[in-house]
Structure 1
Amino acid sequence: MVLTGDQVALLSQLLDQALPLDKDGRERWLRALSPEYQALEPALRQALLSAGAGASVTLPTSEGAGDLSVMALGLRAGQRIGPYQLVRELGAGGMAVVWLAQRAGEASGREVALKLPLMSRLRRDLAGRFARECDILAKLEHPNIARMYEAGVSADGLPYLALEYVEGKPLTSWCDAHQLGLRERLELFLQVLDAVHYAHGRQVVHRDLKPSNLLVTSWGQVRLLDFGVGKMLADGQDVVRTDLTQVYGRMLTPDYASPEQLQGTVISAASDIYALGVVLYELLVGERPYRRKSESSPVPLEQAIKVAQIRKPSTQVQATAAATRATTREKLVRRLRGDLDAIVLKALAKHPKDRYSSAVAFSSDVKRYLNGDRVEADSDRPTVRFGRFLERHPFSTATTVTLIAAAIELTAQNQNDWAHAVHAYVDQVAARTATLFSRWRSDEPTKRPH
């Protein structure tokens, strides 16, 4: 069977779904394939059989698509890949397998996460350019980014990336395990935004931001993984197709992919902003904006991402999610409604130009929310402005109401009935103001400093 480059990219996405399943599960998954994927079933069966047997299999491709040998599936502990000796497998997906490795011959050598593409054999004439490009990406030095130490090609032609090995848990899992409230979750998310802004400033787009690529260490530091397989931006902020990205293909996870990624159009930093919007949505309510109805087919999900209206986070709160955020469902809904809904929806806008212009703009709005200031995403709602004013100026508001009441009373001495009515009305306004302010504050588990 001859596969085109696009079919190989789709095959990789489908393998991501099937590889974690056992033998019976894979068979059921294959039988449940949607009609549009039936043509790929022989290639999928071949790849899954090879994965189960630990063997290597070659998938034929169209001319010019390159040699797509699934050659990293038969690896074993102790095997040498370049200067590294494999220790144990850390994980595998449809695009790559990652091993814990050490430099061979060094008993106390530095441990690395060695990433190996499953479906590519680097052509010899590209080896030098591949290594040079990886050297550029290795210059991403930021406390919240896992470093790429080096890249190379093994003696038999297998390309590899040696990345910093990070022991941690995915961002969403770590927050849930520690039952973090919204403030703590948002503060961790700010670390992510800072790292992404740094990378964008160096013309690197991640393209696959998701919780499993955002690990939190035991001391609470977020580390971003897999920037080594991102894409480089041109001067016009469009993605440049490079040797490195040709090796790794279409790197995306449909649940976190932007509409333009799924449509195969121009990718920019705005694509990462969208993915971060999905991550924030999940951080806040424990759900993603769209639910996949069938695990065997990403097509309905992709269609929803392209055209369906996103539900506000505040409308998707479950009691169990509220409990893992150290609050009640009712309080969580109130805290999400308004500012946080607006922030998330702006990041998830269908059109890139309608999203935050940068990761730092996204970060600034999150900080405004944490500081009790008006957020740019929803700056025109009068109820928001009034509530924020009460929070920032509670005593001056009360004083103003009192002075108004006194002034009315002094100027209405000869109109007792009218003055009495107005005075009663002012008392009602003051009482309602105090009640509103009290409710506003009660929704916050901790005081938000100005």
Structure 2
Amino acid sequence: MDIADPEAGQQASAANTNQSATELPGNGSDRYRINSTLGAGGMGIVYLADDLKLHRQVAIKKLRDDVASQNARERIQQEARLLAQLNHPNIVALHDVLGGEESDSGDIALVMEYIEGTTLRAWMRERSPSLQQKLGLLMQICKGLSEAHNLGIIHRDLKSDNILIAENSKGEAVAKITDFGIAKSQQLDEQTLTAENQLAGTITAMSPEQILGKTLDARSDLFSLGTIAYELLCGSRPFEKHEGGALAMANRITSEPHTPPQQAWAEIPEPLAVLLDKLLAKDPARRPQSALIVYQGFALLHKQGLEADSEDYTATLTDLFTQQKVKSRRRWQRVLTGIAATVVLSAGGYWSWKEITRLEPQYIAVMPVEINGEIRGEENAKALTRTMVRQALMNSVSQLKASALVSFTPKEGQDFEAQLQALQNRGVTGALHARLECAQTRCNIDLQLISPLDQLVKQQANITFLTNKQQEAQYRTTNEAIELFSPSYRHAELRLTAMSNSDYSSYLDILGRMENKALEVNDLNDLILLSSRYPRNSYIYQGAVDVAARLFVLNGHEDHLQSALRLINQAEDYDIPTHLSARLKLFIFGLGNYPEKYHKLIAELEKTDFPVAELLSERSRHFYREGDYQAGLKYANEASELNPSVDNFYLKALNEISSGSYDDARSTLNRITSKAPNHWSSYAALGVIELESGNLTAAESAISAIPPNLRSWRTSSNLGVIYFLQGKYKAALNTYQKVHSTTPESALVTSQIAETQLALGNIIEAKKSYTDVLNLTNEKDDLESQQLHILALANLGNTSKAISLAHKLVQKYPEDTYIKYSAAQAYALAEEWHSVNYYVEQLLNQGMSAEWFNLPAFQRLCTQPKISIDLKAAICS
């Protein structure tokens, strides 16, 4: 019933002072006696009448005479058709239809259930309901909506004025949805609703897609439900009116974020805030999928609230939905009761509710910091300030829930717009940008959160600081950056643990060298020393982990990762937030050989708000290291679908390479380098593909494209492999030995040295190196160590043990190129030529180059009479 316009109601009243004389269509005046006007809108008048036959009061909706156009008649006829299908206690019932085809004039009136009450908007103004009462009404609205949606009916004008509130015999509030005048049936022709080319409905109640004239489904009503729930729970509207009228409001709804629920109601329970954010999402796909799911969520909260003490209510809900630690047995028992209640709703309801209250993952990048003007101080004052601001922004991401930092270095000369496009290509959802205007001793920072998708500034802030107070500036910048994001994503505010000025300068110097790719081993030791002086400073721990990881990538020393893990354990002893220590551990476990800890931590993080795509990529890395490349590829594909970032596509390429799908891997890597020309890891991976395929010139070109100081020890060793396969054994040995000088405990490089010495005929030196490999890989269970152990055993004469181990690994990892290559060598040294023939043919067929079989052990195969003709032609030239 449309009674939202009191002025229209007054006009109608004045125009119809003699209600009893009002003519009703058909035989309506014989059965119904009009008593008064209940209200009116732009099209219709609603009368209170007596049903003389059934002796009850009814509400009769009739078109106003001055708007009784054909389109208006079609709308009220459609309302009649829709209401006739609906029979639900939370929808105003239709009793009778007057006129229509029976009326000579074509007039029509609807006889509906009379609700003795008021609209929800008026009820909110007149009452001070409890949270449970509010939730109870929202549950009822959800049930009524669910009934309509199940019949394919979309209301399209759901608002507080179209919800009537009455009382039942127990004095409880009952919600009734009314006014289906512009409702849409998905089975009816849309033309009946928009024949006059007008936007039907109330702007403040419309979904963005309805305003934009897009195709609607039930989720459009859920957006409108979100505006009702927001106003009922928070006491204000999600989109407040400003100057500019309906057009300005329409623009707000379609383009601007709603006011965060926490801003309107500071103590709103987090699950409710998340649900409101979900309902008010611009994209229908991000909203709950049905009114039933929303009902189940409100029902669970309603049940939990009724059973909880008021002072514990918010904390209990937070414990239940965010899976935080429970602080008392009594509260946990309440939580269990709440969970049990969901079984009554439906087994899947609770998990649907958990899913819709999950925060959408954010993938955040930090753009280059711009500094204009001069800064008084040391010669590198500007560089240190830039490092300070950049670190502050990166640290802010670690303080956000459901968020991951995406590393980003723009291509030289790339303009701002191109940078944003590059970020969009990498799946980044938000970019932090800082522009500084400095004048000797003072700087002003303009902070912005930008959406790469539409290149619009979503939030911004401004900070002014003195250049001799950079430590405080870093702390303020971090917290101001956090404030740019919705409150639902924020952890507790980061607290400052100050360092001395000299120690802080040392800290910035080290991080500056890390960004400039000029780290030294002592830099990690210096950060560890700083952490002992300032054990509660989270900045130091994050910096130290980054430095340890960078050093490990450069020289392969596991000690760096062990130092980082010891540091994280220390951080936990000093109350560094657990969400931060978990992120740091995941980073380290992902780099090193910690399969059990890595797997366990991922499983724990899957129960939290950690970004789903990030965990899928971690799963992919885990299976890649385990040698299960099909599983690794599966998770990499899923991760890249959710977040099409360069890193996820790179993971996909690694698994494709290791499973021998070279053409697929080339395609993936070329896609990466076309979007991110400085993604050096992709060039290294291309080098591996071309190397294994025998395209040695292309392999050398790919690796040479990487600046020498940015090549990892493994990539540098691959350059030695290229020389080896070209028959340049002395150049290969020289390259390997240079790498070995920085990674003396690398079993791979030691094995490559041994292999080259064999090719040069240095048998004694080769055996010494293989003995070192045996010792380095003894009792290690990672895949590479086991593969190298096989080669060392075979070359030292223990071929039976080598073959036994090779057989087990081939059975476990039948797709692994390197395991098959090691097995082939072991069989060759054992002179089991049939098996050698089998594995070499397999490797050649999947694309491995013939140059890989120039070793003396393989060349002996050429003298065997049972070698296949094709194999002889391939490797025995």
SS in 2 for 1:386: coil
Q: Residue 148 of structure 1 contacts residue 162 of structure 1 at CA under 8 Å; is this kept in 2?
A: yes
For residues 92 and 75 of structure 1, do their structure 2 counterparts lie closer, same or farther at Cα, with a shift above 3 Å needed?
farther
The answer to whether 1:392 aligns with 2:332 is: yes
Q: Which of 210, 232, 248 is the matching residue for 1:300?
A: 248
- Paired residues of 1:170 and 1:215 also in contact (CA < 8 A): yes
Distance, in Å, in 1 between the alignment partners of 2:76 and 2:127 is 41
Distance across 2 between alignment mates of 1:284 and 1:133 = 30
Secondary structure at the aligned position of 1:221 is classed as strand
**Aligned pair count?**
314
Alpha-carbon distance between aligned partners in 2 of 1:170 and 1:77, rounded to the nearest angstrom: 26
SS of the aligned residue for 2:239 comes to: coil
Q: 1:358 aligns with which of 259, 278, 290?
A: 290
Equivalent residue for 1:181? 130
Q: Which moved more, 1:85-94 or 1:141-150?
A: 85-94
| 1:346 maps to 2:278 | yes
The 1:301/1:75 distance shift into structure 2, 3 A limit, reads farther
Distance 1:131 1:298, change over 3 A: closer
Distance 1:283 1:201 in 2: 25
Shift of 1:218: 2.4
Q: Please say if residues 138 and 148 of structure 1, whose CA atoms lie closer than 8 Å, have aligned partners that are also in contact.
A: yes
CA distance in structure 2 between the aligned counterparts of 1:95 and 1:360, rounded to whole angstroms: 32
**1:12-411 to 2 correspondences below 5 Å:** 19-20=7-8, 54=15, 76-82=19-25, 83-84=28-29, 85-103=33-51, 106=52, 109-118=55-64, 120-121=67-68, 123=70, 134-135=80-81, 137-151=83-97, 152-153=99-100, 154-175=103-124, 177-219=126-168, 220-227=173-180, 229-234=182-187, 240-241=189-190, 243=192, 250-294=199-243, 297-317=245-265, 333-334=266-267, 336-371=268-303, 384-386=322-324, 391-392=331-332
Q: In the alignment, is the contact (CA less than 8 A) between 1:170 and 1:213 conserved in 2?
A: yes
Paired with 1:278 and 1:93, the residues of 2 have a C-alpha distance of 21
The change in CA–CA distance for 1:159 and 1:107 in structure 2 (over 3 A counts) is closer
- In the aligned structure 1, how far is the partner of 2:139 from the partner of 2:292? 9
Q: How far off its partner does 1:163 sit? A: 1.6
Task: Give the conservation status (yes or no) of the 8 Å contact 2:48–2:58.
Answer: yes
- Please tell me whether the aligned partners of residues 319 and 326 of structure 2 are also in contact (alpha carbons under 8 angstroms): no
User: 1:121 is aligned with what amino acid?
Assistant: A
Q: CA separation of 1:288/1:338 partners in 2, compared to 1, >3 Å: closer, same or farther?
A: same
Q: Which amino acid aligns with 1:111?
A: Q
User: Amino acid of the residue matched to residue 250 of structure 2?
Assistant: E
Structure 1 alignment gaps of length 5 or more: 1-12, 23-47, 55-72, 318-332, 374-378, 397-421, 430-450
Change (3 A) 1:163 1:246: farther
Instruction: Tell me which structure has the larger Cα radius of gyration.
Output: 2
1:247/1:97 CA distance change after superposition, 3 Å: farther
| CA distance in structure 2 between the partners assigned to 1:369 and 1:313 by the alignment | 17
Could you tell me the percent identity over the aligned residues? 26
Structure with greater proportional helix content: 2
CA contact (8 A) 2:82 2:185 kept: no
Larger mean CA deviation between 88-97 and 194-203 belongs to 88-97
2: CA distance between counterparts of 1:159 and 1:218? 30
Q: Secondary structure in 2 aligned to 1:114?
A: strand
Q: Compared with structure 1, are the counterparts of its residues 349 and 86 closer, same or farther at alpha carbon in structure 2 (3 Å cutoff)?
A: same
Q: Could you tell me whether the CA contact under 8 Å between 1:121 and 1:159 is conserved in 2?
A: no
CA drift of 1:20 comes to 4.9
How far does the alpha carbon of each residue in 1:175-198 deviate from its partner, in whole angstroms, 9 at most, with x for none? 553422112210121011011101
Alpha-carbon displacement from aligned partner over 1:339-372 (angstroms, at most 9, x marks no partner):
1111101001111111110101111222343455
Which is further off, 172-181 or 115-124? 115-124
**Equivalent residue runs for 1:438-449 within 5 Å:** none
Code of the aligned partner of 1:113: A
Output the amino acid matched with 1:345: D
Q: TM-score, normalised by structure 2?
A: 0.32
Shift of residue 230, structure 1, vs aligned partner: 1.8
Retained in 1: the 8 A contact 2:43–2:63? yes
Partners of 1:248 and 1:191 in 2: CA distance: 34
CA distance 1:155–1:342, shift in 2 (3 Å): same
Distance 1:394 1:86, change over 3 A: closer
Distance in 2 separating the partners of 1:143 and 1:20: 29
User: Aligned to 1:115, what secondary structure does the other structure show?
Assistant: strand
Q: CA deviation at 1:232?
A: 0.4
Kindly indicate whether structure 1 or structure 2 has the higher relative contact order, using CA contacts under 8 Å at least 6 residues apart: 1
| Structure 1 counterpart SS, 2:128 | coil
User: In the aligned structure 2, how far is the partner of 1:199 from the partner of 1:300?
Assistant: 31
Q: Could you give the per-residue CA deviations for residues 35-69 of structure 1, whole angstroms, max 9, x where no partner exists?
A: xxxxxxxxxxxxx9xx7984xxxxxxxxxxxxxxx
Q: Is the Cα–Cα contact under 8 Å of residues 281 and 287 in structure 1 kept in the other structure? A: yes
Matches within 5 A, 1:1-16: none
Q: Aligned letter for 1:385?
A: Q
Query: How has the CA–CA distance of structure 1 residues 393 and 222 changed in structure 2, closer, same or farther, with 3 Å as cutoff?
Result: closer
User: Which residue does the alignment assign to 1:44?
Assistant: none
- Distance change in 2, residues 1:75/1:230 (3 Å): farther
The CA deviation at 1:147 is: 0.7
Distance 1:270 1:363 in 2: 14
Residues 270 and 318, structure 2, Cα contact 8 Å, conserved in 1: no
| Structure 2 residue ranges without an equivalent (≥5) | 306-316, 337-569, 578-877
Cα deviations across residues 73-112 of structure 1 (Å, max 9, x unaligned)?
8984431212144321111122322122345xx3874432
TM-score scaled by structure 1? 0.59
